[in-house]
């Protein structure tokens, strides 16, 4: 039995296979509508979510399966003091696969050690978010036609942004990747990720605090929200929250084929006027997220069409 806790749990070939299945699902939706008949997905969300939870549920429903779960810690026995392990052992009696989001880093890993059914990490604190990365990789492959030979600018909260951490780890699998890391000083990537990049020979990277500079070179600009819920004090958040705002003026620095990505939710960091620019891909990411989660659920449940 397999879990998906970190994006590095998957090999490059397995990622390619998930992308291939997603593209097949997109082209032949009907062929997949019964493959999970009789199976159930449980979504255990101890932290807020719109896209991740609902796309997991929509994915299972489109595969013909059923869904159950909770969408906040308040509505679960966590408020009575139940441990994550006991919750998972309980929910595994009612379901065949579990997607879990938790504010504590490592909670889904801990759950997977005792779970009799596959556990998917749907975001753990400021650490990682592997299924968002699968969504991002499918989007990049569909929009750019490749995952290698790319300059990727990542902008915003690189310290607490778990989607950024997982995307850097995944893109590091491919040849000739260059990262431009754009953030205020206080929100730079964690040291463990910097050390990881240093060890990889195929990765070139630099850090800057100027969005325009990164944008001019980027094939992909990946914008992120400043993660208010991870700050220790509100004053720091208020000072940093609008560090970077991508508007139509700044878009003039981007190349004609640069794609703009964002895991969403957005706050102020991308002006809504940018949504009409054909280079804006963040709503395509939302759509792709459901398809790659369908492919992932099938793979972990070992079902095929
Ligand atoms: C992200 C997350 O939860 O980490 N959202 C998502 O899953 N699409 C990004 C964020 O909350 O900023």
What pLDDT is recorded for position 48? 93
Q: Which of 3, 39, 102, 129 is catalytic?
A: 129
Residue 133 among the catalytic residues: no
Residue 210 among the catalytic residues: no
| Mean pLDDT of the 94-98 span | 98
What pLDDT is recorded for position 82? 92
Residue 51 among the catalytic residues: yes
| Mean pLDDT of the 273-279 span | 98
* Same-domain status, 75 and 170: no
Per-residue pLDDT at 79 exceeds 90: no
* Same-domain status, 154 and 273: yes
Distance 263 CA to ligand 1 centre (A): 6
* Same-domain status, 136 and 215: yes
Task: Express each pLDDT in 220-266 by its tens digit.
Answer: 999 999 999 999 899 999 999 999 999 999 999 999 999 999 999 99
Q: Is residue 235 part of a domain?
A: yes
* Same-domain status, 279 and 296: no
Mutate to test the pocket of ligand 1, among 129, 154, 223 (most ligand atoms within 8 A of CB): 129
pLDDT > 70 fraction of the chain, expressed in percent and rounded:
100
Please state, rounded to an integer, the average pLDDT across all residues of the chain.
96
Domain span at residue 20 reads 7-128+288-301
Q: Is residue 271 part of a domain?
A: yes
Query: CATH number of the domain that 226 lies in?
Result: 3.40.50.1370
What pLDDT is recorded for position 124? 98
* Same-domain status, 12 and 66: yes
* Same-domain status, 194 and 237: yes
Distance 38 CA to ligand 1 centre (A): 30
Q: Is residue 1 part of a domain?
A: no
The residue nearest atom 1 of ligand 1, judged by CA position, is 263
What pLDDT is recorded for position 35? 98
* Same-domain status, 103 and 150: no
What pLDDT is recorded for position 232? 87
| Mean pLDDT of the 11-29 span | 98
Task: Note the pTM of the prediction, 2 decimals.
Answer: 0.97
Q: How far apart (Å, rounded) are the C-alpha atoms in residues 10 and 2?
A: 10
The residue nearest atom 11 of ligand 1, judged by CA position, is 265
* Same-domain status, 113 and 142: no
**What is the number of domains present in the chain?**
2
- Residues framing ligand 1 (Cβ under 6 A): 51-52, 123, 129, 132, 162-163, 225, 263-265
* Same-domain status, 140 and 122: no
Q: Is residue 2 part of a domain?
A: no
* Same-domain status, 53 and 70: yes
What pLDDT is recorded for position 143? 98
């Amino acid at each position: 039995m397999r879990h998906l806790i970190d994006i590095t749990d998957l090999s490059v070939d397995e990622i390619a296979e998930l992308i291939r299945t997603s593209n097949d699902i997109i082209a032949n939706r009907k062929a997949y509508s019964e493959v999970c008949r009789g199976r159930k997905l449980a979504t255990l969300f101890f932290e807020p979510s719109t896209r991740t939870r609902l796309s997991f549920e929509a994915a299972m429903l489109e595969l013909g399966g059923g869904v159950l779960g909770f969408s906040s810690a308040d509505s679960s026995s966590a408020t009575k003091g139940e441990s994550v392990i006991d919750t998972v052992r309980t929910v595994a009696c009612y379901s065949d696969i579990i997607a879990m989001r938790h504010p504590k880093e490592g909670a889904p890993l801990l759950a997977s050690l005792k779970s009799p059914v596959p556990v998917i990490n749907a975001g753990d604190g400021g650490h990682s978010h592997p299924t968002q990365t699968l969504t991002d990789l499918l989007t990049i492959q569909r929009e750019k036609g490749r995952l290698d030979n790319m300059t990727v600018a990542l902008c915003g909260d690189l310290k607490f942004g778990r989607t950024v951490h997982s995307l850097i780890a995944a893109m590091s699998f491919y040849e000739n990747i260059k990262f431009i890391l754009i953030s205020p000083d206080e929100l730079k990537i964690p040291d463990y990720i910097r050390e990881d990049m240093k060890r990889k020979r195929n990765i070139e990277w630099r850090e800057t605090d100027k969005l325009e500079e990164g944008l001019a070179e980027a094939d992909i600009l990946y914008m992120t929200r400043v993660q208010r819920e991870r700050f220790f004090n509100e004053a720091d958040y208020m000072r940093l929250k609008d560090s970077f705002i991508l508007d139509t003026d700044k878009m003039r620095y981007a190349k004609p084929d640069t794609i703009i990505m964002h895991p969403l939710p957005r706050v102020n960091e991308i002006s809504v006027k940018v949504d009409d620019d054909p280079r804006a891909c963040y709503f395509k990411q939302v759509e792709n997220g459901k398809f790659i989660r369908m492919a992932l659920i099938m793979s972990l449940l070992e079902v095929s069409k």
